[in-house]
């Protein structure tokens, strides 16, 4: 099928492109490279050994989106493009509402005009806030504490309203838990700008010597070792879930939510131990205070995705750490630096 991939040069989008192309789908990417590099797309082409279309355009540009929708005539869309830094969203809420909410509305208007009504949206477990119970299923109440999370809630609401207004829409809301890891080749991976906010990219930068030590944000949570517990999910598993969801939009109807996680939690210290084992690197850690806004524990009940999409996560924390290290060792400066070729 023909799939339009917004934000396809980004971390999750680039891995999804590889899996979509491997599954025989035809793809067209829209990206501004606001938080990514053209090099990611070049490497996807090499890895997949297949070409795909690309338009450098902003999802907020309704005319550009209409042109892409007309020329490529997608049967389905995987919508990754957007801003994603929780802390930044607190200082710049209007930018987040503009890009995430405004951009999604502009994209949907273009798709509606061109008759494409199959949509896969990158939502987040952040829509569950501090969970009332574990594991978290899709019926868990939705709430949020920051502007980034509010954009995800608002977009979910817009998509639900759209499916009510026009039953021809078939929409999958994919609520990601904690995506980590990289493609097994080590050629594409997560490449954040500046100091990483998230655990795994911080750990890999300690491993490559870019940072001295990991600060563990609190070890006095009500968890087995006192550190935060998350449902880390391998980005390649996540990418494959998008293939399953895009295919499901051809069978399904309405707007349906799916948790994408493994169903198992791992603590910060467990992840660090697994990374040490996978990489052979020391990873010094210091325990610091809790980080504002953090929750103690979060993990998914992923049964619905298994039942309806026929997808389940297959890769564990060892593979997540080995692949994250494979990417970092080969690309210690991310896409901006030279690629080391250990082969």
203: which strand partners?
none
Q: How far is CA 211 from the centre of its chain?
A: 24
Q: Which of 96, 148, 176, 221 is catalytic?
A: 148
SS3 20: helix
What is the smallest separation between the CB atom of 280 and ligand NAD, expressed in angstroms? 26
Q: Is 148 annotated as catalytic?
A: yes
**Closest alpha carbon to 142 in 124, 156, 159, 129:** 129
Can residue 299 be called a binding residue for ligand NAD (CB under 6 A)? no
Which residue in this structure is represented by tokens 């550009």?
64
Q: In the range 67-126, which residues lie near ligand UFG by CB under 6 A?
A: 84, 86, 124-126
Measured from each CB, the residue nearest to ligand UFG is 228
Q: Report the alpha-carbon distance of residue 274 to residue 252 in Å, rounded.
A: 38
8 Å CB contact between 228 and 217? yes
- If contact means CB under 5 to 8 A according to the sort of partner, which of ligand NAD, ligand UFG, none does residue 228 touch? ligand UFG
At 54, list the tokens: 């690309």
Q: Whose CA is closest to 102, among 50, 166, 151, 144?
A: 151
How far is it, in rounded angstroms, from Cα 337 to Cα 335? 6
* Interaction of residue 202 with ligand UFG, rule CB under 6 A: yes
Spatial separation of the C-alpha atoms in residues 182 and 307, rounded to whole Å: 26
Q: Which of 140, 187, 230, 242 binds ligand UFG (CB under 6 A)?
A: 230
Which residues, numbered 139-168, are part of the site for ligand NAD (CB under 6 A)?
none
In terms of CB distance, is 55 or 208 closer to ligand UFG? 208
Of 5, 86, 118, 122, which lies in the binding site for ligand NAD, with binding defined by CB under 6 A? 122
DSSP secondary structure letter of residue 136: B
Rounded to whole angstroms, the Cα distance separating 205 from 144 reads 30
Among 27, 159, 216, 313, the residue binding ligand UFG under the rule CB under 6 A is: 216
Which residue in 81, 173, 309, 313 binds ligand NAD (CB under 6 A)? 81
Q: Is 291 in the site for ligand UFG (CB under 6 A)?
A: yes
Q: Site for ligand UFG (CB under 6 A): which residue of 99, 107, 268, 274?
A: 268
Residues lying near ligand UFG in the complex (CB under 6 A): 84, 86, 124-126, 149, 178, 197-199, 202, 214-217, 228, 230, 268, 291, 294
Q: What are the catalytic residues?
A: 148
């Amino acid at each position: 099928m023909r799939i339009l991939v917004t934000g396809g040069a980004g971390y999750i989008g680039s891995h999804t492109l590889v899996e979509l192309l491997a599954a025989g789908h035809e793809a067209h990417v829209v990206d501004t490279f606001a938080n990514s590099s053209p090099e990611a797309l070049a490497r996807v082409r090499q890895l997949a050994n297949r070409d795909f279309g690309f338009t450098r355009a902003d999802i907020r540009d309704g005319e550009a989106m209409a042109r892409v929708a007309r020329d490529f005539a997608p049967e389905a869309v995987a919508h990754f493009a957007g801003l994603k830094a929780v802390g930044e969203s607190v200082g710049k809420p209007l930018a987040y509402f503009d890009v995430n909410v405004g951009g999604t509305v502009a994209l949907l208007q273009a798709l509606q005009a061109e008759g494409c009504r199959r949509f896969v949206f990158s939502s987040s477990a952040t829509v569950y806030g501090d969970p009332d119970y574990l594991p978290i299923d899709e019926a868990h109440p939705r709430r949020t504490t920051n502007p980034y999370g509010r954009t995800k809630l608002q977009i979910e609401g817009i998509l639900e309203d759209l499916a009510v207004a026009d039953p021809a829409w078939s929409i999958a809301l994919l609520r990601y838990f904690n995506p980590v890891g990289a493609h097994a080749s080590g050629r594409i991976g997560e490449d954040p700008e500046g100091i990483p906010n998230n655990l795994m990219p911080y750990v890999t930068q300690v491993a490559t010597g870019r940072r001295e030590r990991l600060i563990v944000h609190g070890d006095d949570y009500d968890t087995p070792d006192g550190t935060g517990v998350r449902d880390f999910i391998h980005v390649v598993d996540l990418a494959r879930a998008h293939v399953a969801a895009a295919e499901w939009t051809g069978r399904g109807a309405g707007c349906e939510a799916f948790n994408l996680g493994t169903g198992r939690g791992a603590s910060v210290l467990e992840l660090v131990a697994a990374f040490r084992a996978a990489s052979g690197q020391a990873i010094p850690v210091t325990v610091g205070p809790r980080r504002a806004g953090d929750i103690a524990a979060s993990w998914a009940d992923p049964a619905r995705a298994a039942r309806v999409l026929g997808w389940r996560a297959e890769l564990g924390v060892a593979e997540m750490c080995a692949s994250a290290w494979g990417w970092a060792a080969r690309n210690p400066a991310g896409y901006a630096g030279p690629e080391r070729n250990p082969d």
